[in-house]
Chains A and B, each alone.
Chain A
Amino acid sequence: MRIAGVALLVALAGLSTGCAATAVKPWDRDLLAKKQMRLIHQPMLNAVDDHVYFSKEGSTGGMDAGGGGCGCN
């Protein structure tokens, strides 16, 4: 799985240095400022989903650093 690790590093470097993007000025971020444009735009529903899938599947993971906390799996 070293390939996946390398892919993550490349993606992190690419996104953080902006190689794929032109600068979007602050006054052009009207659409991005909408609640529905947040990457987790429904955090409560997202948390419910995480709990359901954690208890019903063999894998988990994502954007949170929480981890553990349930005897359901």
Chain B
Amino acid sequence: MQLAGPPRTSSVRSRLRVAACLLLASGVPVLAHADGAPINTLDVTTLLYGEKDRARVIEPNVRVTRIYPDGQSFSGQLGIDVITGASPSGALPSGSVQTTTTPSGNRTSSEQGATPLTSFQDLRVSFDGDWTRPFLRAFTSTLGLRVSREKDYRSVGANAKLSVDLMNKLTILTGGLGFNHDQVDPVGGTHGGLGDGTVIPGRGVNPKEVHTAVLGVSRIITRRWIMAVNGSRTSEGGYLTDPYKVISLMDGESGLTVGQVTEQRPSTRVRKDILTTAAYHLEEDVIHASYRYYWDDWGVKSSTADVKYRSEVDPDAHVYVEPHLRYYTQTPADFFTFGFVQGAALPAYATSDYRLGPLRSVTLGATVGFELSGYPGEWTVRAEYIRQYGDASKANVTGVQKQFELFPAVNIGTVVIGYSLDF
């Protein structure tokens, strides 16, 4: 009688069978080929980035991951950034055609009322390596190494993460530490802060150290819903000033620019954030949502909301479309200013870098994923539009400056082409 099996047992076996099939079919990295050999994954992306009338970037990245039958994996990623174009110098519009020389020696020119820009070009090469190892059934450790180099900036860093599975893997607790030792070597030398750009004689490279601690938990809530909460604290020390940014001095009556000083930021910064992320599986589609709250001791507070909706257009052919919406808003740093009135006492720290101003940003875009019939691997193509804008209505400016757009919107377009192959 019992050989017929109770319905429950049959249900369990059926579900296990379904789960096993889905695991194999879903693209989750299996631990090994059928013959027990390690599996390799190749991921390639190329970012094409362009700001209207400003910077352009081409950034190819190649990552190779090797996964062994015991769950251990090694991965290495090589990235190259080719950066050209121009970025705001921090100066105010002059009211006339203006040509100035920045601390790095680059010549800057701007039309009347236009935001002064500084041209630049750079090449950044980076390498990341990670080693992940499961042990004692419930633990997973990850050790990482990061190295990058560009014309005026070098960085070497390491990080370690430890995760523990709890309650039959319903919950994963993760803790991590990261450390970076960076060196800033400004083109043209290091200048004194809030000065005329005079280079400090004999000043070598400027060190900068970054320490990060991360603590998080992810949790399976229901059969369709997983979420996580992560908190991080980052402590930075050393040279945190942007050596190429300046602050305008304006006439107290007319508002016309009469000079400029270099910017100066504090030599320490403590950043904290809380990030909540969730994924929810609908009948076929998946929603990803996240919210991050950030604050630091420079006075910057920000909120970031991000939603992606993955729509399975043709699941059998692995074709999907994933629209993406992101909204970001931040408060300005305590020492952010649009400019100074000539002759006024200068504070200890100041910047006119709009990225530390009252900034908002909206991202709208979509990713299309597909496979080419008869060819291995998965392709993704993503196109996004980013608009950055801000509020200059309370700007501390005089005269003619009140007529200018002091926080012009930045329009950015990005395209990312990706390819992933298991072999």
Number of A-B residue pairs having CB atoms within 8 Å of each other in the complex: 257
* A1-B136 Cα distance, complex, nearest whole Å: 38
Pick the contact of A45: B182, B230, B418 (CB < 8 A).
B418
Write the B261-301 contact mask toward A (1 if CB under 8 angstroms, else 0): 00000000001111111110100001010001111100010
Pick the contact of A66: B59, B144, B216, B357 (CB < 8 A).
B144
Range class of the B interface residue count: 35 or more
Q: Which candidate, B12-20, B192-200, B341-349, B399-407, is the interface stretch facing chain A? A: B12-20
Closest partner residue, chain A, to B275 (CB atom) = A62
The distance from the CB of A11 to the nearest CB of chain B, in whole angstroms, is 4
* A45-B363 Cα distance, complex, nearest whole Å: 14
Q: Is B398 part of the contact surface with A, judged by Cβ < 8 Å?
A: no
How would you classify the secondary structure of chain B's contact residues: helix, strand, loop or mixed?
Answer: strand
Residues of A43-73 at the interface with B, using a CB-CB cut-off of 8 Å, are 43-45, 47-48, 51-53, 56-73
Contact A31 B281 (CB under 8 A): yes
Q: Given A37-B226, A68-B208, A70-B153, are A16 and B272 neighbors across the interface (CB < 8 Å)?
A: no
Contact A62 B232 (CB under 8 A): yes
Pick the contact of A69: B157, B328, B361 (CB < 8 A).
B157
Q: Is B330 part of the contact surface with A, judged by Cβ < 8 Å?
A: yes
Contacts of A43 in B (CB 8 A): 43
The distance from the CB of B143 to the nearest CB of chain A, in whole angstroms, is 11
Contacts of B300 in A (CB 8 A): 58-59
Contact B367 A45 (CB under 8 A): yes
Interface size on A, residues (CB 8 A): 58
Contact A39 B218 (CB under 8 A): yes
Contact B19 A27 (CB under 8 A): yes
Residues of B129-180 at the interface with A, using a CB-CB cut-off of 8 Å, are 144, 146, 148, 150, 152-153, 155, 157, 159-161, 166-171, 173, 176-180
Contacts of A21 in B (CB 8 A): 170, 219-222
Q: Given A12-B215, A24-B220, A33-B23, are A56 and B170 neighbors across the interface (CB < 8 Å)?
A: no
Contact B229 A8 (CB under 8 A): yes
* A38-B224 Cα distance, complex, nearest whole Å: 12
The distance from the CB of A41 to the nearest CB of chain B, in whole angstroms, is 7
* A29-B300 Cα distance, complex, nearest whole Å: 40
Residues of A3-23 at the interface with B, using a CB-CB cut-off of 8 Å, are 4-5, 7-8, 11-12, 15-16, 18, 20-23
Contact A68 B61 (CB under 8 A): no
Contact B219 A16 (CB under 8 A): yes
Contact B302 A38 (CB under 8 A): no
Contacts of B271 in A (CB 8 A): 59-61
* A4-B271 Cα distance, complex, nearest whole Å: 13
Q: Given A4-B274, A39-B279, are A44 and B167 neighbors across the interface (CB < 8 Å)?
A: no
Contacts of B171 in A (CB 8 A): 15-16, 18
Contact A39 B178 (CB under 8 A): no
Q: Given A52-B414, A66-B146, are A37 and B61 neighbors across the interface (CB < 8 Å)?
A: no
Contact B170 A23 (CB under 8 A): yes
Closest partner residue, chain B, to A25 (CB atom) = B168
The distance from the CB of B227 to the nearest CB of chain A, in whole angstroms, is 7
The distance from the CB of A48 to the nearest CB of chain B, in whole angstroms, is 5
Q: Is B409 part of the contact surface with A, judged by Cβ < 8 Å?
A: no
Contacts of A23 in B (CB 8 A): 167-168, 170
Contact A45 B167 (CB under 8 A): no
* A28-B16 Cα distance, complex, nearest whole Å: 8
Contacts of A72 in B (CB 8 A): 124
Ordered by A's residue number, 5 sampled pairs between the chains whose C-beta atoms are within 8 Å are A16-B166, A33-B23, A43-B43, A57-B361, A58-B356
A binding-site residues for B, Cβ under 8 Å: 1, 4-5, 7-8, 11-12, 15-16, 18, 20-39, 41-45, 47-48, 51-53, 56-73
Closest 5 CB pairs of A and B: A71-B153, A68-B180, A61-B273, A65-B176, A68-B210
